[in-house]
Amino acid sequence: MERTRAILVDITKCIGCRSCEQACKQAHGFPTASEAKLSPTNLTVIEEHGEKFVRRLCNHCQEPACASACLVGALKKTSLGPVTYDGSKCIGCRYCLVACPFSVPRYEWSKLVPYVKKCDMCSARQVKGQPPACVEACPTGASTVGWRDEILDEAERRILGGGYVKHIYGSDEAGGTSVFFISDVPFEKLGFPAPPKQSMPVLTANALGDVPTVVLVGGSLLSGLYWITQRREAVARAEGNVAYPRPRFTANDDDEKRS
Amino acid sequence: MLRKLSNFSLPKITLWRTIVALIMVAGLYATYARFAMGFARATHLTDAQPWGLWVGIGTLCGVGLSAGGFAIAAAVYLLGFERYRPVLRASVLVSFLGYSSVIAGMMYELGLPWRIWHPIVMWNRASMLFEISWCVMLYSTVLALEFSPALVEKIPWTGVRNWYLKWHHEILIGLVMAGVVLSSLHQSFLGGLYLLTKGKLDPLWYSPNLTTLFYLSAIPAGLAVTIMALYLSIRSLDVKLDPKILSEVSRVIAPLLAIYGIFRVVDLAKNEALPYLFMWREETLSFWLEVALLVIAPIVLLSIDKVRNDPQRLYWTCAVIVGGFMTNRVDVSVTGLQRSSGVYYVPQWTEFAATLMVMTLAALVFRYAVIYLDILPKNTAKMPPRFRWAMKGAAAEA
């Protein structure tokens, strides 16, 4: 498998300076006023939980629910790792918002031509070998970027060094992501969602896999039923029994036929 | 000429006409709000509750309650239940109008409705919604074709008419079979949409068997809607139909609901959701309301001869079933997601208005179709003269 990029967020190192928010806004050309929550113009956010600063952004799942949900394939897992959104395909059904196990994508509710907005891990920058704007701006190294396997090793090394909760958030959440979090406070106390620890697209893949079976088995079953019905009718006709006459639409049908 | 003019008068103001007019005014304003001011002004939808009334009622109920058409068509053409033939056209029409309403509702619901054709050329076979959109497109076409003779037989040119009807007869069985397969697929897949909400949807509704549950509940609910439409036609459109046929159709509903009910209980047990049945929560109350309306009450009511054989009582029983069905779909799409989203979504009045307008228009089209086309047998004697012209033509040949 190709190597993919991943981000590690070390919550113990975050000082809440919001440089990542600002860098993200500048990189995407959004107004720079600070916002308290994820929004269509705020694709990453620092949330305060007690004394801790928790960064939220798209987790860039290895097998994204949003990409499997999107009926026109506007959302894609790129070979480099980021999950990107192609606005020119989007029809605005918002199934991606429903499907996302982390409730990350935002919608431009107040626009007349609304699109979905979410972090794209600065896909265009990464293709050119540059780090995502947020990572580049982080002054404390709370956010770092690298190859996914190396980033996972680094997270493990820090946890083994002590002082951390023994779990890398993102290692198995929703089947594994490309954004990892490590923390000295349990994740559930920091408002992290607890999505299923399995690949999400599998949930619908089974049912969708039944389509050919339904078409083939259903089709032949119905044909069989029709054949039996036909045969039964033919027999009835041969024996001179017609149980049900065809419907008459008007009271005058008979008169019209007679005349 | 003079006499004709003197016959002309403004429509009388009646209660129902006033209600329809009010719904239309409100609906038109909602349409303006949606397209000129956007979602934020026309709806209470948020990122936490991105699907609301327009999906919960408009799409999930719109499609689900239109399941009567394929069930009756299959019963008549494939199973040879000729006794349902008199109501065949009406049930196909109800379904067709249901699907048309869903597509009209999509124009409000989609953020970029002018791109509704995108799934035709942009494919994602891994998406439930992709499969649904194709099934709905194809099945709406099937319904239109199944219904088309009712319009074509009014064409005055015998040659064209006969050519079309002959050609139609050739492919009809194929259409009906395709209709059954397509319906079975997308009725289930509407439930399948919510398979991805694992961890978000309340345990009372989340199940790996959502597909089967949606399918099993749609058929009896669709038949209930058909019965309601037939009853109203008999009552107010001078349709001459033996009310016995209504109780004939209703005979199937109770067993279907029982199968659904049993499946639901077994499924809840399998998902270890039984403890949630007895918690003091809004979700649990909503669940019991749903089960009472959709399963318990109708099965009890339909087991009483007096209810089954009395069209009016049957009508209200069917209304209970439809109410229960709608509660179920709203529970899956709104109530069951409330806790995880942290948002208490109550639709804005404009959301109701838009949905009501679309439903009212569908009902009006049904009304005029029954009056002007040969959908159901009618008492011509009592017809107003202006309707009689429509009764002539190819009716006898059909």
List the single best residue of A39, A71, A110, A192 to mutate versus B (max B Cβ within 10 A).
A71
The answer to the question of residue B15 being in a domain is no
The answer to the question of residue B180 being in a domain is yes
Q: Which helix (H) or strand (E) holds B67?
A: none
pLDDT at B7 over 70: no
Per-residue confidence (pLDDT) for residue B10, from 0 to 100: 74
- The rounded distance, in Å, linking the Cα atoms of A197 and A175 is 6
User: Mean pLDDT in chain B?
Assistant: 92
User: Mean pLDDT in chain A?
Assistant: 91
**Does the beta-carbon distance from B86 to A247 stay under 8 Å?**
yes
- Out of B130, B177, B211, name the one closest to residue A207 (CB): B211
Residue that is written with structure tokens 């190859």 in the block: A147
Q: Are B54 and B357 in contact (CB under 8 A)?
A: no
This prediction has a pTM of: 0.91
Per-residue confidence (pLDDT) for residue B382, from 0 to 100: 53
Distance to chain A for B139, nearest Cα, Å: 14
Per-residue confidence (pLDDT) for residue A13, from 0 to 100: 96
Q: How far is CA A9 from the centre of its chain?
A: 21
DSSP assignments along B206-274, one per residue: --TTHHHHHHHHHHHHHHHHHHHHHHHHHHHS-B---THHHHHHHHHHHHHHHHHHHHHHHHHHHTT-G
Nearest-10 crossing angle of helices B210-236, B311-330 = 150
- Residue A59: which pLDDT band, with cuts at 50, 70 and 90? very high
Q: Are B355 and B58 in contact (CB under 8 A)?
A: yes
Q: Are B366 and B231 in contact (CB under 8 A)?
A: no
CATH code at position B175:
1.20.1630.10
Report the candidate in B380, B365, B396, B348 with the shortest Cα–Cα distance to residue B42.
Answer: B348
ipTM above 0.95?
no
Domain range for B189 is 26-397
Per-residue confidence (pLDDT) for residue B384, from 0 to 100: 52
pLDDT at A250 over 50: no
pLDDT at B390 over 60: no
**Does the beta-carbon distance from A194 to B184 stay under 8 Å?**
no
Q: A124 in contact with B at a CB cutoff of 8 Å?
A: no
Per-residue confidence (pLDDT) for residue B383, from 0 to 100: 53
pLDDT at B97 over 70: yes
Q: How far is CA A209 from the centre of its chain?
A: 19
**Does the beta-carbon distance from A204 to B192 stay under 8 Å?**
yes
pLDDT at A253 over 50: no
- Out of B50, B113, B341, name the one closest to residue A94 (CB): B50
Per-residue confidence (pLDDT) for residue B243, from 0 to 100: 87
- Residue B381: which pLDDT band, with cuts at 50, 70 and 90? low
- Out of A101, A111, A251, name the one closest to residue B240 (CB): A251
Residue that is written with structure tokens 């408002």 in the block: A191
The model's pLDDT over A96-144, given as tens digits with 9 standing for 90+, comes to: 999 999 999 999 999 999 999 999 999 999 999 999 999 999 999 999 9
Distance to chain B for A166, nearest Cα, Å: 23
B245 token code pair: 């046929």
Strands A106-107 and A116-117 come out as antiparallel
Calculate mean pLDDT across residues A55-77: 97
The model's pLDDT over B228-239, given as tens digits with 9 standing for 90+, comes to: 999 999 998 888
Report the candidate in A58, A52, A19 with the shortest Cα–Cα distance to residue A38.
Answer: A58
* Among chain A residues, CA nearest to B120: A72
Calculate mean pLDDT across residues B294-300: 97
The answer to the question of residue B1 being in a domain is no
Give A250's strand partners: B378
* Among chain A residues, CA nearest to B88: A247
DSSP-based three-state secondary structure for A182: strand
Per-residue confidence (pLDDT) for residue B379, from 0 to 100: 77
pLDDT at B6 over 60: no
The answer to the question of residue B219 being in a domain is yes
DSSP assignments along B222-240, one per residue: HHHHHHHHHHHHHHHS-B-
Strands A75-77 and A83-85 come out as antiparallel
Q: What is the residue type of B169?
A: H
- Out of A112, A113, A229, name the one closest to residue B78 (CB): A229
**Does the beta-carbon distance from B82 to A101 stay under 8 Å?**
no
- Residue B375: which pLDDT band, with cuts at 50, 70 and 90? very high
- CA angle in degrees (0–180, nearest 5) for A247-A249-A252: 115
Q: What are phi and psi of A84, to 5 degrees?
A: -110, 165
The answer to the question of residue B12 being in a domain is no
The model's pLDDT over B191-245, given as tens digits with 9 standing for 90+, comes to: 999 999 999 999 999 999 999 999 999 999 999 999 999 999 999 888 888 889 9
Report the candidate in B324, B59, B52, B321 with the shortest Cα–Cα distance to residue B187.
Answer: B59
Q: A208 in contact with B at a CB cutoff of 8 Å?
A: yes
Half-sphere exposure of B104 (CA within 13 A, CB side): 18
Per-residue confidence (pLDDT) for residue B5, from 0 to 100: 55
What ranges in chain B are assigned the alpha helix state H? 2-7, 15-32, 39-42, 53, 62-64, 68-73, 88-109, 118-121, 128-147, 149-152, 158-192, 210-236, 244-270, 282-291, 297-302, 305-308, 311-330, 336-341, 349-372, 385-391
**Residue B342 per-residue DSSP state:** T
B51 token code pair: 């699907």
Number of domains in chain B: 1
The pLDDT > 90 percentage for chain A reads 85
Q: Taking the domain A5-200, which CATH number applies?
A: 3.30.70.20
The answer to the question of residue B311 being in a domain is yes
List, in sequence order, every beta strand (DSSP E) within A88-219.
106-107, 116-117, 143-147, 179-182
Report the candidate in B313, B312, B287, B311 with the shortest Cα–Cα distance to residue B300.
Answer: B313
Distance to chain B for A162, nearest Cα, Å: 31
- The rounded distance, in Å, linking the Cα atoms of B339 and B337 is 6
Q: How many CB pairs under 8 A join A and B?
A: 200
The model's pLDDT over B31-63, given as tens digits with 9 standing for 90+, comes to: 999 999 999 999 999 999 999 999 999 999 999
Cβ neighbours of B338 in A, within 8 Å: none
Q: Are A64 and A200 in contact (CB under 8 A)?
A: yes
Distance to chain B for A49, nearest Cα, Å: 17
Q: A86 in contact with B at a CB cutoff of 8 Å?
A: no
Q: What is the residue type of B232?
A: L
Distance to chain A for B355, nearest Cα, Å: 17
The answer to the question of residue B36 being in a domain is yes
- The rounded distance, in Å, linking the Cα atoms of B275 and B254 is 27
- Residue A233: which pLDDT band, with cuts at 50, 70 and 90? confident
Distance to chain A for B198, nearest Cα, Å: 7
Q: A221 in contact with B at a CB cutoff of 8 Å?
A: no
The answer to the question of residue B44 being in a domain is yes
- Residue A246: which pLDDT band, with cuts at 50, 70 and 90? low
